Structure 1
Amino acid sequence: MEGRQDENFRIYAQLLLDALAESETVDLPAYLSAIRTHLGDEGIDHIDLIPFLIELNKGTRNGEAYEAIFDLHPSQDRNEPAVEALLSAAARSGGEFHRIRVLSRPERRVLIGEEEDVYLSYLTFIGE
């Protein structure tokens, strides 16, 4: 399972970096649209999408807005799998961005998929 999840996280990370390369700011609905365009509904409904997004949104507490910054320079520290996937995708992309800022607005919810009752905080991704 870990190998499958790592590979899917790399795909989701690459799609995020590709979207940020087109527009330095991408919100969660636009990112989900990019996933659907490239992977179809299977990409949205895949079991690994939610854990990937949760890792990028892990700082949200008590329903308050939150900002997380992910440095895209390799470090010696062990990172969460989603961050490792971002580092790998950034290295393959030629290092266009130095970091990704994730702004979470938990007071707004985004439906993930169409058939599930799964929501995530509204996120904005900013490539810097």
Structure 2
Amino acid sequence: MLFGKTLVALATVFGLSAAAAHNNGRGTIYFQAGVTGSCGKTEPDSAVIAAISNTFMKGQANSQYCGRKIKVTNVGSNSGAKGKGKTLIVPVEDTCPICGENDIYFSLGAWNKLTDNSAPATIIIDWDFV
């Protein structure tokens, strides 16, 4: 009986822990313009990549987050971008130095997939590391 209660308690703790990892923020487009990102790669604007905030990257070249994948959902936009409900898995390849903690910059390639090729704007996003 005690084992069962302990197992339920552990499942609850781990379930809450996983839920706490969920992030809400804003997303927008950025252009690499041939510049090498903080993860050491030079990518074309057509690449499907993301830049996350310095809160995660901590100003480090080759941060532990470089190459990690994030699953992003476009929750909608108040500035005209389309693609509400679209989801994309995208690797982190750069730092967004001016982003809020849970905001993400998307390359043109990623932006087009998330927004049905919308003009530059801002979208509301939900995201998690996968």
Same fold (TM over 0.5): no
TM-score computed with the length of structure 1 as normaliser:
0.27
**Which one has a larger percent helix, Structure 1 or Structure 2?**
1
- Highest CA radius of gyration, 1 or 2? 2
Give the structure, 1 or 2, with the largest relative contact order (CA under 8 Å, sep 6 or more): 2
